Structure 1
Amino acid sequence: MVQLTTVSVVIPVLDDGPHLRRCLRALAAQTTVADEIVVVDNASTDDSADIARAAGARVVFCGERGIPAAAAAGYDAAHGDLILRLDADSIPEPTWVASMVDALSDPAVDAVTGGAVFHDGPVAGRVALSRAFLGTYAAFAFPALGHTPLWGSNMAFRRRAWNAVRSEVHVDPELHDDLDLAYHLGRRHRIRFVPGRHMRVSSRTVEPRRFVRCFRRGAGTVFAHWPGDLPPARWARLVRRRATHAGRAREVGAPGESRGSRSGAAR
């Protein structure tokens, strides 16, 4: 009997009711509907939790302020085989869930992330500004990680991958949870970028004060992983791991070997 893959969507929220309502409406209109939506109420003082319940979402309370703690609480509470993450001010296109599930149908991939276009701000500059913002993030994060970074407004990963690193991640509110998760997942798991315009997000991230805070938290996240993950050392470990995996793949695929002999060699 074929085991169907189950999907959870996790949304951390703090006093963002109007945006959350729009996000939940977009999730209800997906071509592939998630099995559950988990909204993590990060001690909101507005009606965010009520909005989530009215939309049929499961609400999890997290009293420890900050996206890292709230996101981790949501991942821990999720029941799905796949955990999809976006923010309350995200508006997923109808194909978003399907695109994430399809990308994770590759058993060699454990986490995926995508881009986005701003849904507010000056219409003429939305595409260019969103590309500049995400391009800056990638240019900063990729050299630090040595692989594709994760972006919390549009990402997904296997629950078993989360369980493998959940005790390692930081919950400091002054760090970026998505970049931190990429550090931990990227050590032993493959992260892939999903092309296409499947997500729209708010441009408020690029407001001067928010952008400065965003950059400060990004730098803080990188420094939190030093000296153990200084780029030269991290890159060297990743290269060795990839070479080892490639060697094992060639060994498994070598002609003239029986299944039993390969298993014995692997042990």
Structure 2
Amino acid sequence: MTTPAPTVSLVIPAYNEEATIERCVLAALRQTRPALEVIVVDNRSTDGTAAIVRRLARAHPDAGIRLLSQFDAQGLVPTRNAGFAAARGEVLGRIDADSVLSPAWVENVSDAMADPTVGALTGPVTYYDVPVFRSSPVSDDLVRRSLWHLGRRCPFLYGSNMAIRARAWEAIEHTACPDHDDLLHEDIDLAVHLKQTGIRVAYSPRMRAGVSARRLESTPSSFRAYTHRFDATYTSHGIDHWTLRAPRHLLQGLFWGLRSASTLTPSSRREHV
């Protein structure tokens, strides 16, 4: 007997994202199979992020857009957790405020999660503000798939394009790292805890999203620190293997080439949490 496709809630943490949040939410609404709800969790934004989401909710009253506020603590982890706690779907789609989902994203995720052995899912992305990629359907699937096979000891999740079954989140919620000092990759941390709990993390090339390459506008030292979070995340869990260092080396190698190809303006050059 075929298992029914589960419902999907989309959770979008947001901090000062007025430049990207409308495009993100509209893409989440333009789906071949609608999400149960689209939850934007505002984390102490001081710009127009919340106002834009409220306007979109008024313009699409039947779309299930929900604006939540998480002002207790600054940071991605508590903001993500607040969204997960409020979500009602059987699957929690976790994306960033600059993610632009492909039209069949919810459908592909829901169908993949009909397999009860899959606890979490991630997929490839394109970079919509890098000209060489913007008008092309080519994504980073080949690179990400290669990294996936290299890292089979501990599969990864990518926070801009991932989904986790609500039951799987409940199983690791109280052991996932709070990362108060903001030193880890929270998506990799989730993958580690899922692996340690015996929950399967899968990769789906059909689960596509566009993202901004804006992190490349960080200073070289800041970007280097960002990539070293891979090592920090794995070593904090007592995991060490040369294949798990591949993402750090790859990103550092691509930094200058993609940075020079990006179309980001100087005004967009800020650090992102």
TM-score, normalised with respect to structure 2: 0.74
Query: Which residue, 230, 234, 247 being the options, matches 1:218?
Result: 230
Percent identity reads 36
Alignment check: 8 A CA contact 1:49 1:59 kept = yes
SS at match of 2:103: coil
Q: CA separation in 2, counterparts of 1:178 and 1:199?
A: 16
Q: Is this contact kept in 2: 1:117–1:126, CA < 8 A?
A: no
In the alignment, what sits opposite 1:52? 53
Question: 1:225–1:192: structure 2 CA closer, same or farther, 3 Å change rule?
Answer: same
Q: Is the deviation greater in 192-201 or in 7-16?
A: 192-201
Shift in Å, 1:69: 1.9
The residue that corresponds to 2:20 in the other structure is: 19
- TM superposition shift of 1:147: 3.6
Q: Is the partner of 2:83 in helix, strand or coil? A: helix
* Structure number with higher helix proportion: 1
Counterpart Cα distance in 2 of 1:125 and 1:191: 29
Distance 2:184 2:137 in 1: 27
CA contact (8 A) 1:120 1:126 kept: no
Determine if contact 1:38/1:58 at 8 Å carries over to the other structure.
Answer: yes
Cα 1:109–1:125 change in 2 (3 A) is same
CA RMSD, aligned part only? 2.9
Question: What is the CA–CA distance in structure 2 between the aligned matches of 1:129 and 1:106, rounded to whole Å?
Answer: 27
DSSP-derived class of the 1:98 partner: helix
Whether contact under 8 Å (1:30, 1:95) holds in the other structure is yes
1:100-154 deviation digits (Å, cap 9, x = unpaired): 111111111111100101000233688799639x9389749954x6142100111
Q: Unpaired segments of 5 or more residues in structure 2?
A: 58-64, 243-273
Count of equivalent residues: 227
Change beyond 3 A, Cα 1:151–1:138: farther
Structure 1 outlier segments of 4+, above 4 Å: 124-130
Output aligned runs, 1:26-175, within 5 Å.
26-56=27-57, 57-63=65-71, 64-123=73-132, 131=140, 135=143, 139=147, 143=151, 146-172=153-179, 173-175=182-184
Q: Give the partner amino acid of 1:22.
A: R
3-state SS of 1:178 partner = helix
Provide structure 1 residue ranges, at least 5 long, that are not aligned to the other structure.
233-267
Q: Distance in 1 between matches of 2:44 and 2:215?
A: 21
Q: Structure 1: how far apart are the matches of 2:187 and 2:166? A: 15
> Are the structure 2 counterparts of residues 204 and 127 from structure 1 closer, same or farther at C-alpha, using a change threshold of 3 Å?
farther
CA distance in 2, matches of 1:7, 1:136: 24
> What TM-score comes out, normalization by structure 1 length?
0.76
173, 181, 184: which one aligns with 2:190: 181
Alpha-carbon distance between aligned partners in 1 of 2:102 and 2:143, rounded to the nearest angstrom: 21
Amino acid at match of 2:233: T
Hey, what's the Cα distance between the residues in 2 that align with 1:160 and 1:86? 18
- Residue by residue, what CA displacement relative to the aligned partner does 1:213-250 show, whole Å, maximum 9, x if unpaired? 32132222122212xx4459xxxxxxxxxxxxxxxxxx
Taking the aligned partners of 1:3 and 1:196, their CA distance within structure 2 comes to 19
Please give the alpha-carbon distance, in whole angstroms, between the structure 2 residues aligned to 1:140 and 1:112: 12
Shift of 1:67: 1.3
- 2:212 — aligned with what? 202
1:59-98 residue CA offsets vs partner (Å, 9 max, x unmatched): 2222211212211221112111110111111111111111
For the 8 Å contact 1:85–1:156, the answer to whether it is kept is yes
On the 8 A contact 2:161/2:209 being kept in 1, the answer is yes
Q: Would you say the 8 A contact 2:92–2:166 is kept in 1?
A: yes
| Structure with larger Rg | 1
Stretch deviating more after TM superposition (21-30 or 46-55): 46-55
